[in-house]
């Protein structure tokens, strides 16, 4: 984009990341003289209140450490400075409830958030306390709270740590601040597997204020002073902006604010010229998917010695061309990866390919499972040949802003088309589960690791709208590696778009069952997948916001067993024992093996159907 600076790395290192840059506490002191801190405080979070501009102002601010906070070896060894933990997010949720209670009591309340963070805390401690779930619920809270809200990115806005408190009525950013899908070092580790390639990562992510303004992610760019140490140079335009927006929003009715928020969230990522028109309609159903026996394209198969092609009893009968007509194929547990030198867990059992596929890619001997693509999950969860796909041909070429569709990204998409029989990472449509019709959304891990991009968010929104129009329950299968970082910040905003979709679904009283497959990470688990009325998971599903590889690259220790679904489900008891801390979060309700997941889904669908008074407007069982 033309708004990008000549040297983004210099901007990042000398301005955005400067240790001498004013922190939230400096700006709060300069703008809000009557500010009262709430207690207790944490190093990365500032909460407080004041009366100003004729309103009761609630301030939520992230704070990076100042140089004086980094004087000891212990301080320097701490890796999550400036990152909100699960405990911090819990306090923000409770603070929002306080702000809403003031409104209910007749007080003129407004909420201001100041964003300056590397991202959400990615330590194992926060992960075990459902960090991703807190982010999803906070996005929903900011989208639905009937209180005027304003946010400003004053330094660095990183990932879901920033997005969790940025879904506000008005949004601004300083012209020397940056906002991206993840910290540049993490982006480099994800894209290039090299955390030192910060420049390349920044150029891809399009994080500057001018770029974000053009993409509709912020509304206004605030000027920064010449000197990065000039507190009043930052405070003056910030205070003026906040006063103007708080006063303007105070004149608007809550229902009008909520309507505009929904409209804006719905539009995230729909930037191509024809996208607005196309996004208002659904395409027709496509032919039901019938090929259930096709193995994944990256699986190693072999024939046993001495096997020869033999005519079968059905020789000459037309059959599915995806099923091999040659010698029987086999796979070996722990040795299925076609990549040279790849290491896998497994017991070494030799399994007929047909039995392996029928068991949903799980070894019948040891229970070790492989990641499944969308076709495998559809076969696992839906009745045979009942799935009809919606919006099959929707691609990034229809929706993505032209500046983000780089040649590098176009080549990446073309490569994914060779790995998957689908055209995007989300496959959506209608199916039946033991006869009950549902709207079904399934991630395809074979397409870009199931990552969320603008098409993913748009297809999820359209499916939710379809479910509402047909009074169908929604079932989703999450199997995702996170946000599509090659799309830049618009990919991050799909988290808000998906949360908005689920909010609309629940407003219409329709159930949402979220199934967590392996892996469930990043933006998917920190948005729609964490908001299920019922959350099911396969026992070994990895459920975490930041993937282990990125965590290790940033110096954090990883113990994957603590964030596997079975362990998190056992730990869900804490959500009931401390409801003040967890609020509406209940963790994972139930784990079930892949072969049992369909029955578990049906159990909850049937319960909801049979307990719904207005059964005539709901689903009828297809006999």
Q: Residue 98: which CATH number? A: 3.90.226.10
State the Cα–Cα distance between residues 133 and 140, nearest whole angstrom. Answer: 11
Domain-embedded: residue 354: no
Q: Is residue 566 a part of any domain in this protein?
A: yes
Whether 164 is covered by a domain: the verdict is yes
User: Coil, helix or strand for 156?
Assistant: strand
- Quick check: is 216 in a domain? yes
In a domain, 308, yes or no: no
- What stretch of H or E contains 516? strand 512-521
- Find residue 113's DSSP bridge partners: 60, 151
Residue written as tokens 């479910």? 467
Task: Give 589's contacts (C-beta < 8 A, 6+ positions apart).
Answer: 534, 535, 536, 569, 572
Tell the burial category of 418 from Cβ atoms under 10 Å away from its Cβ (0-12, 13-18, 19+): exposed
- At 329 the pLDDT is 87
Residue 173: which residues within 8 A CB-CB, separation 6 or more? 152, 153, 157, 179, 209, 212, 213, 218, 220, 221, 222
Residue 38 · residue 25 · CB < 8 Å: no
Q: Which residues contact 48 (CB under 8 A, 6 or more apart)?
A: 28, 32, 35, 36, 37, 38, 58, 59
Per-10-residue mean pLDDT of the chain, 623 residues long, equals: 64 94 97 93 92 96 91 80 95 96 89 96 95 98 97 95 96 96 83 84 89 93 98 98 97 96 89 50 49 62 66 38 56 84 84 90 90 94 95 90 84 91 95 97 96 96 96 97 90 96 95 97 96 97 90 86 96 96 97 97 94 58 42
User: Looking at the domain assignment, is residue 328 inside a domain?
Assistant: no
Place of tokens 């963070």: 117
* DSSP for residue 111: E
Instruction: Please give the pLDDT value at position 27.
Output: 98
Upper half-sphere CA count for residue 473 (Cβ side, 13 Å): 29
Q: What pLDDT is recorded for position 380?
A: 96
Q: Which domain holds residue 556?
A: 422-611
* pLDDT for res 414: 93
pTM score of the predicted model: 0.91
Predicted confidence at residue 296, as pLDDT, reads 63
DSSP state of 542: B
Structure tokens at 204: 């891809």
Would you say residue 223 lies in a domain? yes
Q: In the listed set 231, 264, 297, which residue is the last one of a domain according to the structure?
A: 264
> How far is Cα 249 from Cα 293, in angstroms, rounded to an integer?
57
Q: CA neighbours within 13 Å on the CB side: how many for 213?
A: 16
Number of domains making up the chain: 2
Closest CA to 45 of 83, 13, 7, 96: 83
pLDDT at res. 295 = 59
* The last residue of a domain, from among 216, 242, 264: 264
pLDDT at 5: 56
Residue 555 lies in a domain: yes
Rounded CA gap, 595 and 597, in Å? 6
Domain boundary among 241, 264, 287: 264
Cβ atoms of 67 and 54 closer than 8 Å:
no
Of 160, 146, 34, give the one whose Cα is nearest residue 97.
146
């Amino acid at each position: 984009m033309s708004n990008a600076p000549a040297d983004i790395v210099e901007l990042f290192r000398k301005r955005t990341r400067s240790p001498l840059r004013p922190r939230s506490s400096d700006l709060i002191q300069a703008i809000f003289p009557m500010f009262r801190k709430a207690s207790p405080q944490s190093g990365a979070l500032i909460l407080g209140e004041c009366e100003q501009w004729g309103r009761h102002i609630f301030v939520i601010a992230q704070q990076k450490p100042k140089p004086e906070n980094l004087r000891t070896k212990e301080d320097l060894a701490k890796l999550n400075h400036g990152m909100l933990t699960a405990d911090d997010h819990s306090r923000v949720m409770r603070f929002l409830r306080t702000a809403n209670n003031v409104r209910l009591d007749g007080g003129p309340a407004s909420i201001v958030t100041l964003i300056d963070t590397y991202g959400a805390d990615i330590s194992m401690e926060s992960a075990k306390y459902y960090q991703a779930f807190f982010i999803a619920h906070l996005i929903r809270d900011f989208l639905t709270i009937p209180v005027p809200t304003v946010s400003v990115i004053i330094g660095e806005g990183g990932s879901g740590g920033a997005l969790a408190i940025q879904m506000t009525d008005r949004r601004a950013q300083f012209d020397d601040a940056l906002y991206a899908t993840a910290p540049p070092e993490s982006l480099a580790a994800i894209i290039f597997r090299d955390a030192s390639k910060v420049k390349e990562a920044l150029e891809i992510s399009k994080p500057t204020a001018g770029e974000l303004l053009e993409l509709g992610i912020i509304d206004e760019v605030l000027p920064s002073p010449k000197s990065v140490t000039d507190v009043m140079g930052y405070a003056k335009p910030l205070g003026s902006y906040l006063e103007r927006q708080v006063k303007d929003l105070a004149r608007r009715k809550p229902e009008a604010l909520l309507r505009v928020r929904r409209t804006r969230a719905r539009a995230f990522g729909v930037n191509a010229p024809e996208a607005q028109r196309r996004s208002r309609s659904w395409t027709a159903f496509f032919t039901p998917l019938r090929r259930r026996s096709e193995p994944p394209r990256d699986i190693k198969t072999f024939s046993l010695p001495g096997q020869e092609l033999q005519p079968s009893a059905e020789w000459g009968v037309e059959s599915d061309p995806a099923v091999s007509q040659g010698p029987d194929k086999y796979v070996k547990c722990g040795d299925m990866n076609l990549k040279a030198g790849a290491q896998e867990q497994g017991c070494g059992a030799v399994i007929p390919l047909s039995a392996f596929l029928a068991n949903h890619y799980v070894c019948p001997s040891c229970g070790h499972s492989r990641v499944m693509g969308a076709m495998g999950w559809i076969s696992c969860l839906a009745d045979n040949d009942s799935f009809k796909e919606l919006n099959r041909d929707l691609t990034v070429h229809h929706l993505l802003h032209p500046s983000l569709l780089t040649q590098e990204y176009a080549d990446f998409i073309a490569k994914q088309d060779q790995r998957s029989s689908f055209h995007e990472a989300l496959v959506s449509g209608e199916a039946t589960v033991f006869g009950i019709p549902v709207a079904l959304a399934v991630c395809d891990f074979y397409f870009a690791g199931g990552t969320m991009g603008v098409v993913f968010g748009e297809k999820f929104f359209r499916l939710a709208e379809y479910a509402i129009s047909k009074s169908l329950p929604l079932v989703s299968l999450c199997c995702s590696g996170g946000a599509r970082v090659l799309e830049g910040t618009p990919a991050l905003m799909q988290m808000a778009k998906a949360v908005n979709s689920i909010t609309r679904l629940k407003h219409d009283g329709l159930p949402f069952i979220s199934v967590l497959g392996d892996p469930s990470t990043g933006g998917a688990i920190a948005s729609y997948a964490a908001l299920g009325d019922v959350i099911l998971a396969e026992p070994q599903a990895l459920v975490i916001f930041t993937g282990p590889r990125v965590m290790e690259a940033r110096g954090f220790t990883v113990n994957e067993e603590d964030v596997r679904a079975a362990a998190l489900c056992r730990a869900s008891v804490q959500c009931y024992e401390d409801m003040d801390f967890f609020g509406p979060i209940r963790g994972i309700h139930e784990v079930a093996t892949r072969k049992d997941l369909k029955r578990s889904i049906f159990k909850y669908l049937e319960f909801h159907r049979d307990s719904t008074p207005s059964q005539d407007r709901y689903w009828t069982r297809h006999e």
